[in-house]
A = this chain, B = another copy of it.
Amino acid sequence: MEAPVRVSKGLDGVSVGESRISWVGGETGDLVYRGYDVRELVPGIPYESVAHLLLFGEPPSSDPSPEVVDALRRHRTVRPEIEKVVDSLPPDLPPLEALRTILSVLGDGSFAYPPTIDQGLRLIAETPVLLARYVRRSTRAAPVRPNDELSHAANYLWMLSGKIPDRAKVAALEGYLDLLADHGMNASTFVLRIAISTQSDLISAATGALGTLKGPVHGGAPSRVSEMLDAIGTPSRAEDWIADRLARREVLYGFGHRAYKTEDPRAVILHEIARRVADPARLELAEQVERVALDSLRRAKPNARLYTNVEYYSAVVLEAVGLPPGLFTPTFAVARTAGWAAHALEQASDNRLIRPDIEYVGPAPGRKWPRALAGHRPGA
């Protein structure tokens, strides 16, 4: 047997295959979906069309994609048996704990391997419906039925609030959903592809992906940006607060990314969106904190090439759209369902079990179980 190839345990710089879905240009600051730069798509291209592009590989025949619009409408009605489980969840769960179970509950045997485009569209459609249902119930509000006249982005806000949302907010959320819809290989997408590689189903794979996105090092931290801004309070306090934080060697959330060694294009576009919809005082605070944080971090680590990451202005935009911090990562997941579905389809199209090795460095084989114990061994 050949000696194993050893790679870094973080798999930094290790390419685990080929993909036609999206390109992350970490050196150049690019994010491209099937040949289309996200700057070409945002603002303006409906999420339904971005989902179409990711799932079908080409733009739709018109905007918003008629096929996707139609499928999302059809799949917004969830079986009452599944609604019943969602309604039985403890109302005080952290939203990500609830969303993991919500995704799992969607898997009732009807998502059989291999994944299909229609299964992907079901995942995209049903996730926000059940998430909104849970969120409303946790505030003792009645669920709001999906509104078929509304876009995916607008309908999400409608189901959460029961109010027809403001156009500017819908546009901001739509930009966010477009920008977060896919991002090459990353920890949650990798988990999804490993699950599909065992010929498991799309829901199992997406549930695993959500459980991975949940970690604060991946997608679970944008709410901490809001908490940080709240704690700082006013622009004039930024210097002292950040200096104190860094002196205590604590993390500043919203800066640095494994892939990007320059500006993350999503951060740049989300900053533009924030300029249009955020409360001016909040925006001023966020911009001042960003300046001070980057200056301080770069002084502390001159070679680290640290930039503002996607979470920072995600937090400012999602706040402005009216979402509470607890819904930031769940909304990231709502966006990413399109990318997850596309990666599941691609993985299944030329599938092979993903199963690495690990080097055993524990005690040498041949140890003898203490005779004094010897379990209930026959004859012992």
Contacts and interface: CB of A to CB of B under 8 A. Distances in A.
A104 B101 contact: yes
B4 A35 contact: no
Given A63-B373, A90-B81, A199-B216, A356 B14 contact: yes
Contacts of A1: 13, 26-27, 261
A366 B10 contact: no
Interface stretch (A44-52, A232-240, A280-288): A44-52
A301 interface: no
Contacts of A380: 44
A365 B16 contact: no
Contact of A211 (B16, B105, B208, B361): B208
Nearest to A184: B358
Given A88-B85, A187-B197, A217-B198, A14 B10 contact: no
A10 B355 contact: yes
Interface in A161-210: 184-188, 190-191, 194-201, 203-205, 207-210
A203 B258 CA distance: 25
Contacts of A45: 369, 373, 375, 377
A18 interface: yes
A194 B220 CA distance: 14
B10 A7 contact: no
Contacts of A107: 97, 100-101
B195 A352 contact: no
A143 interface: no
Given A34-B363, A107-B100, A377-B44, A356 B16 contact: yes
Given A88-B88, A356-B11, A377-B43, A23 B211 contact: no
A2 interface: yes
Contacts of A40: 367-369
Residue among A6, A200, A359 with the highest chain B CB neighbour number at 10 A = A200
Contacts of A24: 360
A362 B198 contact: no
A218 B113 CA distance: 14
A354 B94 CA distance: 25
A30 B366 CA distance: 11
A4 B9 contact: no
A40 B363 CA distance: 15
Nearest to A59: B370
A199 B212 contact: no
Contact of A200 (B7, B19, B199, B211): B211
A302 interface: no
A362 B195 contact: no
B207 A19 contact: no
A243 to B, nearest CB: 25
Given A10-B352, A355-B11, A377-B44, A195 B191 contact: yes
6 contacts: A13-B357, A40-B367, A45-B373, A100-B207, A185-B358, A197-B217
Interface pairs A-B: 6 shortest CB-CB? A198-B215, A44-B377, A208-B208, A204-B211, A35-B363, A20-B362
